[in-house]
Every structure is written in structure tokens, then in C-alpha cells.
Amino acid sequence: MRKKDSKIIIPNADTQDVIHEAQRLIARKLGSTSRRHFLRQGLTLGGMVMLTGCDISDNSSVEKALVAISGFNDRVQAWLFGADRLAPEYAESMITRPFPFNAFYGEEEAPEVDAQTYRLQIAGNVLDKSSWSLTQLYQMAQVSQITRHICVEGWSAVGKWGGVPFSTFLKLVGADLNAKYVSFKCADDYYTSIDMATALHPQTLLALTYDGQILPRQYGFPMKLRMPTKLGYKNPKHIKVIEVTNAYPGGYWEDQGYNWFGGS
């Protein structure tokens, strides 16, 4: 019999961790008899093939199998996250007009932040905690990108955001790049937090403009964090405070059961 030419996946320490986590997650979903049997058997890569119906002979199907098993498990997502893997970018002609609004309140209730008195506050494991005026932020070198925003409520839209690459900003203020989290507090009392790997991702933007204009009030004036690698609720609008920390900060929706990693 001719052997199929397939890449052999050798489980490393990380893979074993993910497998154990997946095993615990699945065990919780099984009845007691099958749970005992299942835990005795353990979960091998071969077992995953059976459970998920995925042929795990290449890395992309291994990823699918792992995600299928553990759903939106944070550790799996962090492990699968490609620090340099880029989200798709689009042509100007594909921008969704008008761009949808979303928040935990109606559009007319979006906060009104005063441009003159606004100061971005920096906290936590950062060398320079000076606050920033909008004028100072607008003076920094800006880039822009056209990406897709995906909301868990079942819609997605393509938009164009401009601003400062967040990694540039974090390095400039002397943030501890080995810290675990970056957290955001917003003018409407929304809050969320992200992993450092995503904070440093090349497409993560401290966004000051939308479609070439100063960021409109309902889309997050004066500033939002735009990450095409994360779901909508992970993209905070109206940011007031940025904190670098090792203490898990949670988030408005995350604390109500939404998955914390929230990759898209």
C-alpha cells in the first residue's frame, strides 16, 4: 500500500498543553460514563481526527481541529495567533457606506469628548506616564489601512482607519513589552483589554481618523484602537486611559461571558 504523502506533526510542549486543555473542556461536556472512558483514553492527535472529522495532516487542519474542539478558548487562540500574520486589506471601492454604528447604547448617546481639554492618560508598566493632547497625537507619523470589522452580533463592514501604529506608540512611551496585557478605559465607561502580542501586531492602530476625516463622534472620537485581528467588541472607542499591566483587566462584554481573546 502506498503511504499518503503527509507532513508529520510532532506534538511539542505547547501542543500538549493545548491538548490537555481541550481534553478538560470536552470532558466537561460529556456524561459521567463516557467522561471516565474519555479521560482514561486521553486525547491524542488521532483522537482529534475522530472527534472533529478533520484530517490533521497539515497545519491548517490542525488549527481547525483545535479550534473546533476548544471553541474560542483563549489559550488556543493566543497559541494560534500569528504575530506577523496579516488580516486582509481591501480596496477603497469596498468600503461599506454608511459604516454601521454599534455600542451598548444608541447612536445619539455617544459621548461628546472635548478636543481642547482631552488628554490621553498612560498608566501601569510604562516609563513615561505623561499624558497626551490631541495636537501631540496628530503630529505623529500616520498610516492608514482598509480592513474588515467583524461584530459578534452577525454583521461585518469594511472601513478605513488612520493613525499611529500602536507598537510605535508603546515603544515611544517605554512600555514594558513583556507585560501580559494592555487595558483601555473609555469615555463612555466601556473597557476592554488585549494581549501584548496583539498590541504589537503590525496592523494594530491607535486610530485618529476614519475615512480620511478626524474620527467622528459615533465611531470613537477622539481615538479608538483598531485591530483587524480581533472582533468588534475588542476595539475600544473613545479611549481615555491606556494601561500596561500583568493583572488580568477583563472587559465590559468579556466580564459578561464573551470570550476574552476575541480573535476574528
Q: Give the side-chain half-sphere CA count within 13 A for 121.
A: 11
Residue whose cell numbers read 513583556: 178
Residue nearest to ligand MTE (CB): 232
* From the list Mo ion, ligand MTE, none, partner contacted by residue 237 (C-beta under 5 to 8 A by kind): ligand MTE
Segment interacting with Mo ion (CB under 5 A) among 38-46, 148-156, 211-219, 244-252: 148-156
CB of 20 to ligand MTE, least distance (A): 32
User: b/e string for 32-51 if b means 16 or more Cβ within 10 A?
Assistant: eeeeeebeeeebeeebbbee
Question: Which residue in 191, 210, 233, 260 binds Mo ion (CB under 5 A)?
Answer: 233
* From the list Mo ion, ligand MTE, none, partner contacted by residue 160 (C-beta under 5 to 8 A by kind): none
Distance CA 146, CA 195 (A): 23
* From the list ligand MTE, Mo ion, none, partner contacted by residue 202 (C-beta under 5 to 8 A by kind): none
The DSSP output letter for 120 is: B
Secondary structure string (H, E, C) spanning 61-75: HHHHHHHHHHCCCHH
* From the list Mo ion, ligand MTE, none, partner contacted by residue 226 (C-beta under 5 to 8 A by kind): none
Q: How many CB atoms are closer than 10 A to CB 98?
A: 6
Residue 40 identity: R
Residue 47 identity: G
Q: If binding is defined by CB under 5 A, does position 232 make contact with Mo ion?
A: yes
Q: If binding is defined by CB under 5 A, does position 219 make contact with Mo ion?
A: no
* From the list ligand MTE, Mo ion, none, partner contacted by residue 248 (C-beta under 5 to 8 A by kind): none
What residue ranges bind ligand MTE (CB under 6 A)? 100-104, 151, 186, 188, 190, 219, 232-233, 235-238
